Amino acid sequence: MTNLTHDEVILFKHLQGFFGFDNVIPHMRCLAIFESAKVSLPEVLDSNKEAMMERHRCLFTVVDNDDKPKVIFELSESDAVTIDLLHMNDKSIAEDLFQKVGIKHIAVSRQEIKEIGLPGSGYSMVDYLRDKLELE
């Protein structure tokens, strides 16, 4: 069973609505993401990153119909009450690795989650995702 906060559940439901129920995977390990992407790990990995790959989990991983990871969504640390330094370091390393292999990484703030879809805001989750993913 996956434990999610209220904001994470809202984001999860929005992502499922946009990408499809089976295409959004919560708490996927970095190592599994790279294995699913069929990336040769020695090309992007050194000994310092191996431990991070094993322990770090991304909040939500969006995969295509072939189960290949395409986009990682995480909550931004900028509005967090507490900050886990190890998690921040792992996330920084992971973001760099994702960029090297062409997997997009998007950090969503809790404030953005609250504002998206507010009645009268004129800005929906679809609009937000299109902007972030640079879709037409």
Would you list the DSSP string of 17-85?
A: HHH-GGGEEEEEEHHHHHHHTT--HHHH--HHHHHHHHH-EEEEEEE-TTS-EEEEEEE-GGG-SS--H
| Cβ atoms < 10 Å from Cβ of 48 | 8
- Confirm whether 80 is domain-assigned: yes
Does residue 62 or residue 33 have the better pLDDT? 62
Q: How many CA atoms lie within 13 A of 70 on its CB side?
A: 11
pLDDT band for position 114 (50/70/90)?
Answer: confident
pLDDT digits (tens, 9 = 90+) for 23-59: 999 999 888 887 787 766 655 566 667 777 778 888 9
- Confirm whether 1 is domain-assigned: no
Give the dihedral sign, CA 126/130/135/136.
Answer: positive
pLDDT digits (tens, 9 = 90+) for 69-89: 999 999 886 666 667 777 777
Closest Cα to residue 106, out of 32, 18, 36? 18
* C-beta contacts of 78-81 below 8 A and 24+ residues apart: 78/109, 79/109, 79/110, 79/111
Q: What is the pLDDT of residue 59?
A: 92
Per cent of the chain over pLDDT 70 is 85
- Confirm whether 110 is domain-assigned: yes
- Confirm whether 53 is domain-assigned: yes
Does residue 35 or residue 1 have the better pLDDT? 35
Give the dihedral sign, CA 34/36/41/46.
Answer: positive
Looking at the 3D structure of the chain, how many domains does it have?
1
pLDDT band for position 129 (50/70/90)?
Answer: confident
pLDDT digits (tens, 9 = 90+) for 88-100: 777 887 888 888 8
- Confirm whether 39 is domain-assigned: yes
CB 95 within 8 A of CB 105: yes
**What domain range is 16 assigned to?**
6-133
